[in-house]
Amino acid sequence: MELLEQIDALVWGPAMIALLLGAHLYLTFKTRFIQRKLPLAIKMSLKGDDAGGEGDITHFGALATALAATVGTGSIVGVATAVLAGGPGAIFWMWITGIFGIATKYSEVFISIKYRVRDSKGAMLGGAMYAWERAFRKNGRTPIAARGFAIAFAAFAALAALGIGNAVQSNAITGIVTTHLGAPGYLVGLVVAALGAIVIIGGVQSIARVCELLVPFMAVGYALGCIAILVANGAFILPAFELIITSAFTGQAAFGGAVGSGVMVALQYGCARGLFSNESGLGSAPLIAAAAQTKNPAQQSLVAMTGAFWSTVVICLLTGVVIVSTLLAYPDLAGVIANTPNITGTQLANLAFEKIPFIGAPILALGIIAFSFSTIIGWYYYGNRAVAYLFGQKGILPYQVMYVIATFLGAVGVGNVVWTISDITNALMAIPNIIITLALAGMVARETKHYVYDGNLDEESSEAVPSLGDLR
């Protein structure tokens, strides 16, 4: 276990953060600050079908599925973990990471749609593996190195889906349900696994339909709950923002020294948890975005980039301000934190939310249950696409069985080893995705100028989507 923790610290260390954050900044520059098109992107995401666009699901269906996979326990527990490790200043850096991560989300989705393919049934497939396959293909052959990066991305994505996308999430549901209702873990596991199986067996359309219904409800409900808590903490909202901002640049210890340990630590944990919460650069959202109905890559890329905004800039910020304002409103919590050895993000979130009478605990419980379940079904699609690339259609059924079993096993209890292994594979899938995104940034910039800045956003792409068989 100690070796795995060392590997985890290495892959999510300063080098990975510099790679991802550097990519965010570079791609923001290359796309001419595409974030300024966010109001347009939000408007587009709510329109539904794009008449005339090729694809299997709607703009909003693809966005909702990506958000379902993204807005998980990291949006609550991950924020609390960042505060514990990096102090209140970590929330500021998490927010900044979310803003600049919008450009990376746009770019990686653009590439996925640009290089997507059709399978034998006509369904759209895309993601970093197909970008590696097609972008460097010459004379009908893909270079060995490019194929290697494609296989690595798909393999790590399939493994990450079983762990962080599934077992860890079902474990979070069990923790909440058993704490508040006293239900046995195995029963919770059976229910969650059964519900997940019903959704995922229906395929991408079934997953998208459920996410279209679940995501708006859970996100709006959680946001309204957080706002209600902030109203209760009204006198401490401005002090909370002041503490978050000053701690980001001064590294001051907060809450009697119980939380917070320097500027670099706040930066490191804020960026790490921000990157984890919005998944910009991991290559996950492009897997579902490739199935969206869109006339050209820019349309769906604009819609997809709103995911980073909602997950980190809105949901994570609300969670962070709730936690910090509650810690300020109830100074006794600092002593509890200081006197609790190895306190976890889950415990801190529970302490903070439960301080709010009547509404705090239910908001936290319902938020974690809804976010975790949506992540389970969203990440299944990612794992499905990765397995289909590696093994073809014959690998889908065995993977479905494995996924449902992993849901149950996660619910009845997974050790830290599962989280750590999954965290490592999550980071490793980002490396080939970031490399291909940076390598093709010039193409993204040129075509973005044509479609977005030159007023051709409704133009139908002239490029035909090739058959998967043409690559094999």
Enumerate residues 6+ apart whose C-beta is below 8 A from 169: 72, 73, 372, 373, 375, 376, 379, 410
Checking if the pLDDT of 415 tops 60, the result is no
State the helix-helix crossing angle for 168-181 and 185-201, rounded to 10 degrees. Answer: 130
Closest CA relative to residue 293, chosen from 89, 47, 79: 47
Q: Would you state the pLDDT for residue 297?
A: 94
Q: Would you state the pLDDT for residue 56?
A: 66
In angstroms, rounded to a whole number, what is the distance separating the alpha carbons of residues 66 and 64? Answer: 5
Mean pLDDT, to the nearest integer, of 375-400?
A: 92
Is the overall model pTM greater than 0.95, yes or no? Answer: no
Structure confidence at residue 53 as a pLDDT band (50, 70, 90): low
Q: pLDDT, tens digit, for every residue of 92-145?
A: 988 888 899 999 999 999 999 999 999 878 888 999 999 999 999 888 888 999
Question: In the Cβ-directed half-sphere of 303, how many Cα atoms lie within 13 Å?
Answer: 31
Closest CA relative to residue 385, chosen from 175, 203, 115, 225: 203
Geometric angle at alpha carbon 314, from 272 and 157, rounded to 5°: 45
Q: pLDDT, tens digit, for every residue of 310-352?
A: 888 888 889 999 999 998 998 888 777 777 777 777 778 888 8
Phi, psi of 141 (to 5 degrees): -130, 140
Beta bridge partners of 178: none
Checking if the pLDDT of 260 tops 50, the result is no
Calculate the average pLDDT of the chain: 84
Q: Would you state the pLDDT for residue 451?
A: 96
Structure confidence at residue 236 as a pLDDT band (50, 70, 90): very high
Domain extent listing, the chain: 2-448
Checking if the pLDDT of 264 tops 70, the result is no
% the chain with pLDDT above 90? 34
Checking if the pLDDT of 447 tops 70, the result is yes
Checking if the pLDDT of 298 tops 90, the result is yes
In angstroms, rounded to a whole number, what is the distance separating the alpha carbons of residues 285 and 283? Answer: 6
| CB count in 10 Å sphere of residue 194 | 12
Structure confidence at residue 51 as a pLDDT band (50, 70, 90): very low
Checking if the pLDDT of 75 tops 90, the result is no
Q: Which two tokens stand for residue 114?
A: 């640009």
Q: Would you state the pLDDT for residue 440?
A: 97
Enumerate residues 6+ apart whose C-beta is below 8 A from 201: 400
In angstroms, rounded to a whole number, what is the distance separating the alpha carbons of residues 242 and 254? Answer: 12
Checking if the pLDDT of 52 tops 70, the result is no
In angstroms, rounded to a whole number, what is the distance separating the alpha carbons of residues 142 and 159? Answer: 25
Cα 162 to the center of its chain, rounded Å? 15
Q: pLDDT, tens digit, for every residue of 145-161?
A: 999 999 999 999 999 89
Q: Would you state the pLDDT for residue 414?
A: 63
Q: Which two tokens stand for residue 471?
A: 């690559």
Higher pLDDT, 402 or 61: 402
Checking if the pLDDT of 258 tops 50, the result is no
Q: Would you state the pLDDT for residue 417?
A: 67
Closest CA relative to residue 173, chosen from 385, 383, 377: 377
In angstroms, rounded to a whole number, what is the distance separating the alpha carbons of residues 247 and 253? Answer: 8
| CB count in 10 Å sphere of residue 265 | 16
**Secondary structure, 3-state, the chain:** CHHHHHHHHHHCCHHHHHHHHHHHHHHHHHCCCHHHHHHHHHHHHCCCCCCCCECCECHHHHHHHHHHHHCCHHHCHHHHHHHHHHCCHHHHHHHHHHHHHHHHHHHHHHHHHHCCEECCCCCEECCHHHHHHHHCCECCECCHHHHHHHHHHHHHHHHHHHHHHHHHHHHHHHHHHHHHHCCCHHHHHHHHHHHHHHHHHCHHHHHHHHHHHHHHHHHHHHHHHHHHHHHHCHHHHHHHHHHHHHHHHHCCCECCCCECCCHHHHHHHHHHHHHHHHCCCCCCHHHHHCCECECCHHHHHHHHHHHHHHHHHHHHHHHHHHHHHHHHHCCHHHHHHHCCCCCCHHHHHHHHHHCCCCCHHHHHHHHHHHHHHHHHHHHHHHHHHHHHHHHCHHHHHHHHHHHHHHHHHHHHCCCHHHHHHHHHHHHHHHHHHHHHHHHCHHHHHHHHHHHHHCCCCCCCCCCCCCEHHHHC
331 vs 86, 178, 239, 260, 291, CA distance in Å?
19, 29, 13, 15, 49
Architecture in CATH for domain 2-448: Up-down Bundle (1.20)
Q: Would you state the pLDDT for residue 257?
A: 44
